[in-house]
Structure 1
């Protein structure tokens, strides 16, 4: 199964704290739609990971780039295609 891993590195902690509620609400919509496989923060507080379960890299990129934390530059996005060995 091909999934898409969005690594969201925190680059502005103060702004990120302000955006946390809207960031979580944005992701919840796609959890409810079945487009997010997993999500959560890194335990070292450096950011978080969202794994998108969508049809294409372009769709994952659109969703990840429209995350308020990315739009408002509190987090830096790195998006990678990832193959899960769990089917």
Structure 2
């Protein structure tokens, strides 16, 4: 499996606020299915970052296009394959 970093820059702040619960539910489900490694928002309000786990770019794009933020146009997206060099466990 490969990893893909997806930047979700803010496109529509109102839609982002309205669809945030659905977006978070989607990401939690994807994490439980081991299709998302981690995710988080940028504190400055610029958007967020999701690290997807997929066999290839097409599969990763297929996953991200199911994100409510993307579906309703709340966020733009930019994807890059990402190589995980090291993983740490924190308490």
TM-score (norm 1): 0.93
Q: Which segments of structure 1 move beyond 2 Å, counting only runs of 4 or more?
A: none
Q: Which runs of 5+ in 1 are unaligned?
A: none
Who is 2:12 aligned against?
12
Who is 1:83 aligned against?
83
CA distance in 1, matches of 2:35, 2:18: 25
Equivalent pairs, count: 87
CA distance in 1, matches of 2:27, 2:37: 11
1:3-37: CA deviation from partner (whole Å, max 9, x where unpaired) = 10110011100111000000111111110011111
Matches within 5 A, 1:1-87: 2-86=2-86
Contact 1:65 1:77 in 2 (8 A): no
Contact 1:64 1:70 in 2 (8 A): yes
* Secondary structure at 1:51 match in 2: strand
Structure (1/2) with the larger strand percentage: 1
CA RMSD of aligned residues (A): 1.3
